[in-house]
A and B are shown apart, each in its own frame.
Chain A
Amino acid sequence: MSTFIDRPRYLCSLGGAISTLNALPRVITIIHAAAGCGSNLANAHNGAAGYAGSGYCSGLALPSSNVYENEIVFGGETRLAEQIEKTLEVVDGDLYFVLTGCMVEMIGDDAQGVAKQFKDQGKPVYAVDTGGFKGNSFRGYDLALQSIFRDYLEKQDEKDEKLLNLWGIVPVQDVFWKGNLKVLKTLIEKLGYRVNTFFGENETLDDLKNASRASLNIVVSDNFGIEAAKVFEEVHGVPYISIPFPIGDYGTEHFLNEVGKALGIDEIFIHKVIKSEKTRYYSYIERLADITSDIDLQRYAVVVGDSNYAQALTRYLSDDLGWLPELVIITDDNLNDEDKNVVLSRFEDYESGFKPKVIFNPHTSSVLKEINIHWPGSNGHKYYNSFSPAFILGSSFERDAADKLGASHLSVTYPVCNRVVLDRAYAGYEGALRLTEDILGALVAGR
């Protein structure tokens, strides 16, 4: 049972599906929805994801049937067919996906049936039901992938032992998706494999079409894309593993070990790769020994974000930086108890021995409230061990809370409105170097 949410940090399943599919090369989404849906969602994609922009054919260019009262009363399938036909005429793409909004699903339009009429004529048109009431952006990512896996991927009997697929990083909701995919791809390639990330640089639709040749699906998440991975296994017989999204030394080492184990790679080889990565990582981190020791840059920290980022950022803060991530607020709204237990298990066994308090709460105004509950105020005492110096690693929403708390702040999780993000990555060792630059950079900016 879902509840209302005070300033949610995601859109609906239609929004998630639009940003997912538009992150694929030359894929055109045609939304069958009321007029405002596309424009509203596109605004959030552009402005709240580090200015990701309108993309190739999103933003106000997004083809949309723009159904009104007339279609809601009499049905919108005729209008959809017209819109698909004309989109094929005007818009230059390789693959066209119809995505439905709430209203047309409620009146029972058969978008898949309409798309099939075009498919039968040899046109590359597919459809997914993504009505917003089905859930949030993460659900939309999963629904879009399920449809791609079932309908678009070619069946391949022969598997390529050296080919892997990487999923679980949700475009736009992970503002740094493109950079993160590049980093993780490069990392796994060092193990001697080829990797499809689909939404990253230099990926093609052919790679996607032939993705069922892969020997393993690696889902870099406990929650995002899991249902789709199950569909993949069911339809194409490719197994999957789910590994937490890694940032920094300890998270990435765990990641590489898990991938290695699943692929049956020799442990000695994995350790060699890890050692070489760590040598490079610490050759940079080593520079910070002076400044951090000279002016004490250790901080109490609060982490706010989705279940992918929250665990990765917290482990990095605790085990790489040696900070005190006292409180973690996970903002996913759709986790059941079993999911939550898996997520909670990711905050155990820290190298530092530190144990953060982890709570699930999707409400934005709760952040400051939870901080005050966790660390009560001075109550007028002269000697008071205050929650200071503190740092909030969250979204742009947390800037206000940080101001009120007198804490420093960096926007990393969605929405990110006060930074511009291009190919920056925070994943892996490489990304942890960027994150360290940005976090400590925020601390020395005022010097």
Chain B
Amino acid sequence: MDYIKEKTPPIREDRLLACNAFGGSCCDLAKTGKKGCLNKTKRSFAQTQGCQLNLSMAILDSIRDSVVIVHGPIGCGGAGLSYGALTSQYHKLRDKNAQGFLWINTNLDESDVINGGEKKLHDAILYAEKEFRPSSIIIVNSCVPALIGDDIDGIVASLQNEVVAKLVPVHCEGFKTKIMASAYDSAYHGILRNLVGQPEHDDSVIEDELELLKEKYKRSRSVNVLNVSSMSRADELELERLLKALDLNVRFLPCYAHPDDFTLATEAALNISICATHDDYFVKHLKEKYNIPYVLQTIPIGIRNTNQWLLDVAEFFGETERAKRLIEVETKELNEALEPFKNQLKGKRVFLSGGEIRILTTAELLQDLGFEVLGVRGYHYDEFANPLIDNLPGNEKIIFNVATGQPFEQANLLESFKPDLYVGHAGMNGWAAKQGIPTFPIFIQSVNYMGYSGVYELTRRVSRVLKNTQFSKNFGKNVKLPYVDEWYGKDPFTYIDSSLAL
């Protein structure tokens, strides 16, 4: 893979034939999906969804000692308001002096739409440099300047010599793609082009051969673990604990990293992804450009996938036996700890919604605990879901709805399934709760969810949530969703239009 010479990355509809509209069984999805048949599906009725700018911000906001400039009208990036004042705690978990999320909006108005917004961007970059002295200034491009043709890269090139901060343009205009996850490629594209590089080597120092050997050994045992912004510090500590047991040194990128950390990224022996949807663009480029191998197959959620993830890493370092011993000890201990919960959870019917990779592995985790999985909703579908779907027990009966948001489809599904529990991502849980269904949020930045300890934490929490579900029951009795009654009698996938699908 080599798109790095281009100013902008390709969109995922083209690169991965990703789709975001489908309804049917898991089996059907894998069958049609593998042929790339779903690429052009769309909805004739649609609800709003995240765009790649929104999602790019999730990674970019978290980068420490940086300022994000949203180049666009005043509302773009406004979601930052909902957590803008509260992010410093997560930054501070990594560096207690961290400032939290700083952003500027260039406030393009009607006259800029006619005359161009470059001057405002220029001024905003100089303001960010003078006001905050950050290590990097990340410029996020929105729809309007893209349409009027502002030359972001030209401004960056002309200003880079005037400012100390590294300037990082990120092209993530929302109207370019339906696949919100294209955001990851956009963010990584900017990072790869502007922050990743080989650290400078100081030739003037006479080197000690023993020190050199030590350094070489250290690097041969160093790995980059690619984190996601919706995982917790506790998740990182758990994954670090497991990798340290294999004698590996761990660096976490890209979320909550310092811009300088990306320079060191090229010194790792292996890149370890925890989510292919999130990282494939990054790791494949690092392989292409710096010849760093990668592990991309699965995500350490649930016992089987955590085992698999560890074995993938261990195999690379020739530590398979050691990993197997670790897995044996860990899983024995964990399974004993899970035993007391299983009676309560056995046979409970669950419906899940979220990103394709995490939601499929979480479904499997819940099956292990004795839940019956009725259906899953993924934000989008691409090839990375296939092995997980293939391995999901009972997949021929499980419903799969590919939808970025679209709570109307979910409402219809939940009305007919009436699950005992809904497991979902922020923004969608509330709608399920209003139908009276107990909800269990995953992907919270403050709780442990990954690795072995994550399985236990999730189990402990889900058991607690199910002990009193009165709050959502009250919603169910007293709140109405905004859909006409007839909607619930129709096929939930009525408004998915496959006429343009291949």
* A binding-site residues for B, Cβ under 8 Å: 1-15, 28, 31, 34-44, 46-48, 53-54, 56-57, 59-69, 72, 82-83, 86-87, 89-93, 102-103, 106, 131-136, 333, 365, 395-397, 399-400, 414-415, 417-418
Contacts and interface: CB of A to CB of B under 8 A. Distances in A.
B263 interface: no
Given A5-B74, A69-B175, A106-B147, A90 B45 contact: yes
Given A91-B484, A132-B76, 5 more contacts: A7-B84, A35-B49, A37-B48, A68-B176, A133-B109
Interface string B226-243: 000000000000000000
Nearest to A91: B482
B82 A63 contact: no
B35 to A, nearest CB: 23
Contacts of B178: 35, 66, 68
A31 B144 CA distance: 17
Interface in B98-114: 100, 102-113
19 contacts: A4-B105, A7-B80, A7-B102, A8-B78, A11-B81, A12-B75, A36-B54, A39-B48, A39-B427, A43-B79, A43-B427, A63-B46, A63-B47, A67-B175, A69-B176, A102-B73, A103-B144, A365-B102, A397-B85
A311 to B, nearest CB: 23
Given A35-B49, A103-B144, A415-B84, A40 B54 contact: yes
Contacts of A91: 408, 482-484
A57 B77 CA distance: 22
A415 B76 contact: no
Given A39-B427, A40-B78, A102-B143, A93 B107 contact: no
Given A60-B48, A102-B143, A4 B83 contact: no
Contacts of A6: 102-104, 127, 131
A1 B111 contact: yes
Nearest to A36: B51
Contacts of B197: none
Given A12-B74, A64-B48, A83-B46, A72 B54 contact: no
B223 to A, nearest CB: 34
Contacts of B109: 2, 133-135
A131 B73 CA distance: 9
B132 interface: yes
Interface string B458-493: 000000000000000000000001111101000000
Contacts of A106: 113, 144, 147-148
A285 B485 CA distance: 51
Contacts of A61: 47, 407-408, 431, 481-482
B306 interface: no
B169 interface: no
Given A4-B106, A90-B487, A103-B144, A40 B86 contact: no
A15 B76 CA distance: 10
A39 B82 CA distance: 12
A-B interface, 10 closest residue pairs, ranked by CB to CB distance from nearest: A36-B51, A47-B82, A38-B48, A12-B75, A86-B45, A396-B85, A132-B73, A43-B79, A57-B482, A36-B174
B123 interface: yes
A65 B74 contact: no
Interface of B: 43-54, 69, 72-86, 88, 100, 102-113, 120-121, 123-124, 127, 131-132, 143-144, 147-148, 174-178, 180, 404-408, 427-428, 430-431, 481-485, 487, 495
B86 A417 contact: yes
A2 B107 contact: yes
A64 B406 CA distance: 10
Contacts of B481: 61
A40 B79 contact: yes
B76 to A, nearest CB: 7
B277 to A, nearest CB: 18
Given A36-B51, A46-B82, A28 B175 contact: no
Contacts of B74: 5, 8, 10-12, 132, 135-136, 333
A93 B495 CA distance: 19
A35 B405 CA distance: 11
- Interface-centre pick from B85, B106, B143, B481 (highest chain A CB count, 10 A): B85
Contacts of A333: 74, 107
Nearest to A104: B175
Nearest to B497: A82
Contacts of A86: 44-45, 495
A86 B43 CA distance: 10
Contact of B45 (A89, A102, A134): A89
A3 B119 CA distance: 10
Contacts of A13: 75
Contacts of B127: 4, 6
A103 B143 contact: yes
Contacts of B427: 39, 43, 59-60
A142 to B, nearest CB: 15
A4 B104 contact: yes
Contacts of A48: 81-82, 84
Given A4-B104, A92-B484, A34 B174 contact: yes
A7 B46 contact: no
B82 A133 contact: no
Nearest to B57: A40
B114 to A, nearest CB: 10
A39 B408 contact: no
Given A5-B104, A15-B75, A60-B428, A417 B45 contact: no
Contact of A64 (B47, B104, B111): B47
Nearest to B144: A102
A418 B85 contact: yes
A400 B431 contact: no
A133 B54 contact: no
A36 B483 contact: no
Contacts of B180: 35
A34 B75 CA distance: 13
Contacts of A64: 46-49
Nearest to B427: A60
A47 B51 contact: no
Contacts of A35: 48-51, 174-175, 178, 180, 404
Nearest to B124: A4
Contacts of A89: 45, 484
A294 to B, nearest CB: 34
A92 B411 CA distance: 14
B175 A68 contact: yes
Nearest to A366: B131
Contact of B51 (A10, A34, A93): A34
Contacts of B408: 61, 90-91
Contact of B131 (A3, A60, A365, A395): A365
Nearest to B147: A106
